[in-house]
Amino acid sequence: MSVETFMAKRGEVPSKFIEKVKGAVGEENISQSECDLISYSLDYWLYGVFLSQYGKLPSLPSVVISPRNSQEIQSILKYANEYKVGITPFGAGSGVLGGAIPIEGDAVLNLQRMNRFISLDGTSCVAEFEGGIIGANLERELNHRGYSMGSIPQSFYCSTLGGWISTRAVGQFSTKYGKIEDMVLGMEVVLPDGNPLNIKPVPRRSTGPSLKELFLGGEGTLGIVTKAVVSVHPLPERTIKQSFVFDSIEVALEVVRKILRGDAKPAVVRIFDEPETARYFEEIENKVTLIFISEGETDFVELEGKLIKRIAEENGGESFGENPVDIWLEKRFDIGLGPIIMQQGGIVDTIEVVSLFKDAVNLYNDMVSAMRAVEGAISVSGHYSHFYREGACLYITFAGFPKDPSRYYKDSWTAAMEATLKNNGSISHHHGIGFWRKEFMQQELGPYGVELLRRIKFALDQNGILNRGKLI
Amino acid sequence: MENKKELEQITNCALCANMCKYSCPVYLATGNETVTPQKKARLILYKKKAFIEDEKGFFDVMFQCAMGGACKVNCLYDNFDLRDFIQGERSEAFKKGILPDETRKRVETFTRFGNPDGERQLIQKGKGEIGYFVSCSTYNDQQLLKAVEKILARSGEQVQQFGGADICCGAPLYYAGDMEGFKKAAEKMKGEIEQRKLRKVISSCPTCIKMMTEIYDEIGTHLDAEFIHITEFLDHLVKEGKIKVNKANATATFHDPCILANDIGVTTAPRDIIKMLGFEIKEPIYFGKEAHCCGEVPGGRIGDSKLVDKVNAMRINELKETTADVYISACPTCKAALSDIDMKDIAEVVAEQIIDG
């Protein structure tokens, strides 16, 4: 094999393990072919993607196993424990922190064969899916039946429900519909020792600490999510799109804060800083743009629309109508520029963090200025999205043409994380930790926090087989 | 890679987040990351840069594609079609003699008989400047041939039917990567059309139309005739009142053939016809340009018969869910592939509803 690996050599697994797994999943669902090993070697960790164009990959899996159901996964994990084989779960490979990279050359567990819609309960507003279904396909199944889950991340077309759960993902319409932890009612999980766990779907329970929280953000280190029951909504009857421009991020944040204190729940709320405004909306110059989408029952939506308009205009917002919202809707999945920049030797990536409103302006200013100061930086821009009554997620997009790409990438991340921690923010809002961000976990959780996670991991996975080198 | 632009294009695809994978029927039917468009692009890039050692394994992946164009329809980049690059690799595979078994058998049959199915009679009926080309997929479908004959007889148009024997657009050779053989087939087809002095050619097979227009142009075989799919001809006949039809009182599901929807761009005409025939349309979850491929024939666009079965089973399940009274398509290959749900060609449904006299 001629590809170069820069993190670990391809691992080896005992032939007896291979034989036993073949017996569980069938010969055609286990592979060590060169093309398969290359295809499951990397997710969408962007520095890895940058290097992949030169034939450099983090590492190659020892083997790729593609089970069809929970029972097969139970067998695989039991064999993995017996033979001490590391297992890296692979959802759809859209994660941007390297969470699905077999960084120690481990076996990859491909979960994409489990991609079916199972059932819809319109009375209870819940639907069940297998974990490997892609978001766009999940939403299509629901829309066809008159419902929506309301989870539309930028990776909508290339990420799975299981991946959303494992990374605590968030969609663009989150301010109304909630984040993945608000949407998941129950799930079927295979624990690291191969035993099944069924968390039944109910709106809430008081049965000790919530076990499902272990897997919402578990990043495949604590179990494999094979099915989930999620909350769904009838398709909206009415949609109102509004936009306003402001002189500063500070004023725009204050407007959103007041709107959410008024109990409004717009589906989409986004504040674009000046560089992002310039990139998205040609007609708006030297301003900050704030867009809203309200949707749902007509009476509620119209009331919410009026509230938004009143508060925005009372605070100096100039209305720009629906057009900026339509432009954003059209461009929101277009990541086409990234590969073009990478081909020219440029580095691109995004970082999402979160803070309370009281720290939000300082966080933006500190993070942007620190990242712009990194040698090689060309562009650092940001938007606030995913709002709460208490605060919001800051999402930074950065690009550079550095002499030393590795150094630039590392320094940009360090600058961003340090600015976040300085301003009392959390180092990740919804992309997760993977392997790339884990060095900041000590500062995020404190030494006892990390130790607690380690003990939880050991309690569930004594042989340390699941997703080694990730999260902690 | 032939030139810098092509290298940039395939690298863009290889560095993308796989934003079209959700639409790829081969991926959805298998859950296999390796067959997704972005991973195929990475493999093609690596092959060009000599990073791939297992050539046979690589070429097998190149034949694990339905070539239906879902990725093109859902691509972030303008003027990029991954199929062009896959086709280039298939051509390489053919030159090196590294073909999947089913594909090789189809090429061998074609080489011997001038078509992918074996010995056939020549079909030559009627006169006129308009031709109805009996595609290979239509040749064995007697119900469809009778329906077409009935429609043509009632249409008031002078149409000559031709096909069978060794008259074939060459698509089986094209998808197998035999570009030399395909060029010969294209030139032969050009001769067949010119010798009949046809100014317009109708076919029931979307792939024939794609080949005789877009792909013949690419290889420098230019035909002066106009080529239309039969749905467009039927749409014209029904809308202009050239044939009168009874109104059905039933529900129907239309399966969009991938080449018809994605390459020829026809999705409205068949639905207009079906509605004019009095059917209420029940759409499946995936329809129009989002419809999934039927799987076609083993060794056809997909080289591996097991993979064909998986794609086929997925599409049948999607269609069955509508529980419509009638299932209709507009491609004889789709009709044959989806025969488990009693699929009819749109021409048959029109013929059944024609008012005699």
Per-domain residue ranges for chain A? 117-234, 238-331, 337-436
Angstrom distance (rounded) from CA B123 to CA A36:
47
- The confidence score (pLDDT) of residue B80 equals 97
Fold of A117-234: 3.30.465
The per-residue pLDDT for range A429-465, each reduced to its tens digit, is 999 999 999 999 999 999 999 999 999 999 999 999 9
Contact across the interface for A137 and B32, Cβ inside 8 Å: no
Angstrom distance (rounded) from CA A128 to CA A227:
7
Walk across the sheet containing B130-134 and list its strands.
B122-125, B159-164, B130-134, B200-203, B226-229
A-B Cβ pairs (cutoff 8 Å, strict)? 125
For the segment A387-397, the average pLDDT, to the nearest whole number, is 98
- Spell out which residues of chain A touch residue B28, defining contact as CB-CB under 8 Å: 115, 137
Contact across the interface for B43 and A35, Cβ inside 8 Å: yes
- Spell out which residues of chain B touch residue A27, defining contact as CB-CB under 8 Å: none
For the segment B173-194, the average pLDDT, to the nearest whole number, is 98
Phi, psi of A383 (to 5 degrees): -140, 150
Angstrom distance (rounded) from CA A320 to CA A313:
11
- The confidence score (pLDDT) of residue A9 equals 87
B4, B9, B19: which to substitute to probe chain A, counting the most A Cβ within 10 Å? B19
Q: CB-based burial of residue B93 (10 Å sphere; 0-12 exposed, 13-18 middle, 19+ buried)?
A: buried
Determine contact, residues A106/A59, Cβ cutoff 8 Å.
no
What type of residue sits at position B217?
D
The per-residue pLDDT for range A191-219, each reduced to its tens digit, is 999 999 999 999 999 999 999 999 999 99
Closest residue in B to A135 (Cα) is: B22
The per-residue pLDDT for range B302-335, each reduced to its tens digit, is 999 999 999 999 999 999 999 999 999 999 999 9
Give the CA-trace dihedral at A310, A312, A317, A318, to 10 degrees: -50
**Band (B2; pLDDT cuts 50, 70, 90):** low
Please state, for a pLDDT cut of 90, what percent of chain B lies above it.
Answer: 97
Kindly report the length of chain B: 357
**Band (A150; pLDDT cuts 50, 70, 90):** very high
A299–chain B nearest CA distance, Å: 30
Angstrom distance (rounded) from CA B299 to CA B171:
12
Contact across the interface for B17 and A110, Cβ inside 8 Å: no
- The confidence score (pLDDT) of residue A258 equals 98
In chain B, helix, strand, coil percent, each to 5? 55, 10, 35
What type of residue sits at position A103?
I
For the segment A228-250, the average pLDDT, to the nearest whole number, is 98
- The confidence score (pLDDT) of residue A311 equals 98
Of A38, A115, A339, the CB nearest to B12: A339
Angstrom distance (rounded) from CA B28 to CA A297:
34
Q: Which residue has the higher pLDDT, A63 or B156?
A: A63
CA A38 to chain centre: 23
Structural domains of chain B sorted by starting position, each given as residue range(s) with its CATH number in brackets: 4-98 (no CATH), 122-233 (3.40.50.1860), 238-353 (3.40.50)
Considering the domain A337-436 in this protein, what is its CATH number?
A: 3.30.300.330
Q: Is the pLDDT of residue A1 over 70?
A: no
The per-residue pLDDT for range B200-236, each reduced to its tens digit, is 999 999 999 999 999 999 999 999 999 999 999 999 9
- Spell out which residues of chain A touch residue B58, defining contact as CB-CB under 8 Å: 34-35
The per-residue pLDDT for range A408-424, each reduced to its tens digit, is 999 999 999 999 999 99
Instruction: Give, to the nearest 10 degrees, the angle between helix B268-276 and helix B230-239.
Output: 40
With CA atoms as reference, report the closest residue to A149 among A129, A163, A166, A167: A129
- The confidence score (pLDDT) of residue B356 equals 77
Contact across the interface for B32 and A3, Cβ inside 8 Å: no
Closest residue in B to A67 (Cα) is: B31
The per-residue pLDDT for range A53-101, each reduced to its tens digit, is 999 999 999 999 999 999 999 999 999 999 999 999 999 999 999 999 9
Considering the domain A238-331 in this protein, what is its CATH number?
A: 3.30.70.3450
With CA atoms as reference, report the closest residue to B203 among B80, B348, B55, B347: B347
Q: Is the pLDDT of residue A339 over 70?
A: yes
Angstrom distance (rounded) from CA A146 to CA B195:
55
**Band (B171; pLDDT cuts 50, 70, 90):** very high
C-alpha distances in angstroms, A148 versus A126, A227, A292, A387?
Answer: 10, 18, 19, 20
Phi, psi of A82 (to 5 degrees): -60, -40
Closest residue in B to A48 (Cα) is: B15
Closest residue in B to A341 (Cα) is: B12
Q: What is the ipTM of this complex?
A: 0.97
Instruction: Give, to the nearest 10 degrees, the angle between helix A15-25 and helix A70-83.
Output: 170
Interface of B with A (CB under 8 A): 8, 11-23, 27-28, 30-34, 36, 39, 42-43, 45-46, 49-54, 57-58, 60-61, 74, 76-77, 285-286, 290, 306
C-alpha distances in angstroms, B199 versus B187, B192, B215, B231?
Answer: 17, 12, 19, 18
A35, A37, A226: which to substitute to probe chain B, counting the most B Cβ within 10 Å? A35
Q: How many CB atoms lie within 10 A of CB A31?
A: 22
Of B17, B43, B57, the CB nearest to A94: B17
For the segment B9-17, the average pLDDT, to the nearest whole number, is 98
Average model confidence (pLDDT) for chain B?
96
- The confidence score (pLDDT) of residue B156 equals 87
Q: How many CB atoms lie within 10 A of CB A285?
A: 10
Angstrom distance (rounded) from CA B207 to CA B301:
11
Structure tokens that stand for A326 in this block: 């339509």
- The confidence score (pLDDT) of residue A11 equals 87
